[in-house]
Amino acid sequence: MIELNKITKKFTLHNQGKTNILVFNNLNLKINPGEIVALTGPSGVGKSSILKMIYGNYVFQSGQIKINNHNIDHKYPRNIIELRKNIIGYVSQFLRVIPRVPTIEIVMEPLLEINSDQDEVREKAEKILLKLNIHKNLWNLSPLTFSGGEQQRVNVARGLIRNYPCLLLDEPTASLDSVNKDIVLNLINEKKDKGSSIIGIFHDEYSRKYLKAREIDITKISDAK
Amino acid sequence: MQPILSVHNLNKYYGNQVGCKNMNLTLYPGEVVGVVGESGSGKTTFINSISGNLIPDSGKILIETGNEKINFLEISESLKRLLIRTELAFVHQNPRDGLRLDVSAGGNISERLMSIGQRNYGNIRQTIFKWLDKVEIDKSRVDDFPRTFSGGMLQRLQIAKNLVTSPKIIFMDEPTGGLDVSVQAKILDLLRKLVRELNLSVVIVSHDLAVIRLLADKIIVMKNGEAVESGLCDQVLDDPQHSYTQLLVSSVLQV
């Protein structure tokens, strides 16, 4: 369960004339277990910002964010680190990895946090990579030289290899062809059926309909715009 | 869970000059804390003051040793030396500062082992090989002198030398500082793996925000000897609150 209560978020750009940008005012949102919420609204309205606040990347000035009843509180970074380890998964738009680390190890990493059986984890990573049509020949290569679509699928594999109770998806299907898009969407549906609370940004209507997502127009739930 | 290291209100002055002022840090087992800031901001003074290389003027440094909390600044010199040889490790920016150049690679790795009382040649030799393998240095180089090693190899040797006794807390001052980018990537990969495998707790100083983003869980941003901002690493880098951090983050060149 993900809950946002009365969130206010602003950016203060100290070095650009102390410009204040109010992004959200009195933002309220709730995502239940086994539900997918799709954020909609024009570019720049703050869709990614919501995901980043939930994941703890962005601070907010007032209000409350609760993940399975745990507060996101930046005064206690240790708690956010624990939440990320155990409860919140995040598939970002772009892959950020150490150069020269093989694809298979990148995918295995989140699972190794909770399972130290290398062979078992490797098997699971291979399974999901196969499912996502990442050819075996690529597994021992760094994904940095892969195509955009391949990188995205590696990112998805890494994000979905575990069953997180809460899942944040930032355009997980943006640069995929229709076959691979359906594969990713099916994986997301599996997570929903397992009871994850899922919130995401999906640019195409096809994905949102396929996932039977509850669509939320951000401009309608925050007073800031 | 208890922090393995906590630093409270630490101050270090050089005469009237501030080295670092009012510094705090909490490090949990398995956690990596990055310290960033421009040169002269006090990063190295801070890490030296909490690792036994410098004596701070005031403050508290608590180290959890498993059964008790030790105030690092109040213990005897001999206990401090013992801790530095066993529970703590320091990886210098310049590996030549952390290695003995006229002792073989194997000899460098075995030094800490012998200092904690290991004497069996066969066992020591085996541990040396295990660590050369971990840091990807060919076994055949075990009896060579470090001065015949490349910069990247020297840094990996320094890491092996420090980690061989499974210290609980590792301090690193710009560990990838003087290395070219391909070697830097290799060291970063190695450090990430070791942190996870051995559940290492690390304090790492770097002026390179990209290095810190890849390695650190938490971050401290320093300016003029003080911490201007601290917290969760990617939060501070993605949504910096202090004007200096905003300047620092926006000054990074995009590749």
Residue A55 lies in a domain: yes
> Does the pLDDT of residue A225 top 60, yes or no?
no
For residue A20, which residues of chain B lie inside 8 Å, CB to CB?
none
β-pair type (A35-40, A197-201): parallel
B26:A57 CB<8 A: no
Give the C-alpha distances (Å, rounded to integers) separating A4 from A222, B118, B126. 11, 56, 55
Q: Supply the CATH number for residue A206's domain.
A: 3.40.50.300
Chain A interface includes B229 (CB < 8 A): no
Q: Chain B residue closest to A113 (CA)?
A: B196
In Å, how far is A212's CA from the nearest CA of chain B? Answer: 32
Find, in chain A, the residue whose alpha carbon is nearest to that of B239.
A58
The model carries a pTM of 0.91
Q: Is B28 on the interface with A (CB under 8 A)?
A: yes
Mean pLDDT value across chain A: 93
ipTM for the predicted complex: 0.90
Average confidence (pLDDT) per 10 residues, chain B, 255 residues:
94 95 96 93 96 95 88 92 90 93 95 90 94 92 94 92 92 87 83 86 93 93 96 95 93 74
Residues of A in contact with B188 (CB under 8 A): 98
Our CA-based measurement puts residue B77 at a distance from the nearest CA of chain A, in whole angstroms, of: 33
Whether A158 shows a pLDDT value over 80: the answer reads yes
Q: Which residue of B has its CA nearest to A112?
A: B196
| B223: chain A residues, CB-CB within 8 Å | none
Q: Report, as an integer, the average pLDDT of A6-34.
A: 93
The alpha carbon of residue B182 is apart from the nearest alpha carbon of chain A, in Å, by 8
Inter-chain residue contact A78 with B28, CB threshold 8 Å = yes
Give the mean pLDDT of A58-83.
Answer: 95
pLDDT at B103: 95
pLDDT given for residue B254 in this prediction: 66
Q: Which one has a higher pLDDT value, A224 or B107?
A: B107
In A78-208, the DSSP E strands lie at: 88-91, 166-170, 197-201
| A72, part of any domain | yes
Q: What's the average model confidence in pLDDT over A9-34?
A: 92
Q: Does B31 touch chain A (CB under 8 A)?
A: yes
> How do the domains of chain B map onto residue ranges?
1-87+168-255, 97-166
φ/ψ of B136, rounded to 5, equals: 60, 45
Tokens of A46: 């703050």
Q: Is pLDDT at A155 greater than 60 in this prediction?
A: yes
What pLDDT sits at residue A101?
A: 86
CA atoms lying within 13 Å on the CB side of residue B37: 27
pLDDT tens column, A187-199: 999 999 999 999 9
Give the pLDDT score at A13: 92
Instruction: State how many domains chain A has.
Output: 1
Q: Is B250 on the interface with A (CB under 8 A)?
A: yes
Res B255: pLDDT: 60
Contacts of B189 in chain A (CB under 8 A): 98, 100-101
Å from A37 to nearest chain B CA?
A: 24
Among all residues of chain B, which has the CA nearest to that of A18?
A: B243
Q: What are phi and psi of B178, to 5 degrees?
A: -95, 20
| pLDDT greater than 80 at residue A224 | no
Contact list, A100 vs chain B (CB under 8 Å): 182, 185-186, 189
Is residue A7 scored above 60 in pLDDT? yes
Angle (nearest 5°) at CA A216 between A212 and A220 = 160
Asked if B217 and A77 come within 8 Å (Cβ–Cβ), the reply is yes
Q: Tokens standing for B196?
A: 């996870």
Expressed as residue numbers, the domain containing A71 is 1-87+199-225
Task: Quote the minimal CA–CA distance from A42 to chain B in Å.
Answer: 22
3-state secondary structure of B44: helix
Please report the beta strands in B100-252, taking only residues with DSSP state E, as ranges in sequence order. Answer: 169-173, 201-205, 218-223, 226-232
Task: Specify the pLDDT at position B170.
Answer: 95
Residue A177 resides in a domain: no
Of the residues A24, A86, A98, A109, the best mutation for testing chain B's interface (the one with the most B CB atoms within 10 Å of its CB) is: A98
**CA of B15 vs chain A CAs: smallest distance (Å):** 33
Question: Does residue A208 form part of some domain?
Answer: yes
CATH class for domain B1-87+168-255? alpha beta
Strand duo B218-223 + B32-36: pairing: parallel
